[in-house]
Amino acid sequence: MASSIKNLSEYSSTNVLNVAEKKFGIVVSEWNEEVTEALYNGAYETLLAHGAKKENIVRKTVPGSFELSLGGQWMAQQEDIDAVICIGCVVQGETKHFDFICDAVAQGITNVSLKYNKPVIFGVLTPNTQKQALDRAGGKHGNKGDEAAITAIKMLGF
């Protein structure tokens, strides 16, 4: 469902797990820092809003979204981490590089979640333009970071 139809920050708070006893890892790409920091803040605040303790949210950064798979794996392999959120923003350029990064990181993050049998959330924007990115990082379509955090919480309540 397009973000223009369903706001990324809208969700029902009923039956959302209290995650006071859970530990989260958030891996943030440095590329498009204005966007990824906004996504991180959305995820961080959403986790706190549902009971997560600040000391139980571990942040690491990676150079770009392509490195989110390995950064997510290094986080997921830590036994005390209950869920991982990978934050990135890949903006379409002039070449096919966009496609290779997006495909690699989507498959890579999926592989990590299956390998370590724990939620590893794809909190990566793949917009055509910077405006589309900002619209989804706290703009008119909400914040993908909020959505990623709620997704992690819902998976922990599976």
Ligand X SMILES: Nc1c(NC[C@H](O)[C@H](O)[C@H](O)CO)[nH]c(=O)[nH]c1=O
Cβ at position 101, least distance to ligand LTPLIIQW in Å: 5
Query: How many whole angstroms separate alpha carbon 101 and alpha carbon 157?
Result: 31
74 binds ligand LTPLIIQW (CB under 6 A): no
When CB distances are held under 5 to 8 angstroms depending on the partner's kind, the choice from ligand LTPLIIQW, ligand X, none that residue 94 binds is: ligand LTPLIIQW
**Residue 158: strand, helix, or coil:** coil
Closest by CA to 46, choosing from 142, 112, 125, is 142
Binding footprint of ligand X, residue count (CB under 6 A)? 13
Cβ at position 151, least distance to ligand X in Å: 20
Q: Which of 7, 17, 41, 98 binds ligand LTPLIIQW (CB under 6 A)?
A: 98
Closest by CA to 110, choosing from 90, 84, 129, is 84
Binding residues for 5-amino-6-(D-ribitylamino)uracil: 31, 65-67, 89-91, 122
CB atoms within 10 A of CB 102: 17
Closest by CA to 143, choosing from 123, 114, 126, is 123
Active site residues: 97
**Residue numbers at the binding site for ligand LTPLIIQW (CB under 6 A):** 90-91, 93-95, 97-98, 101
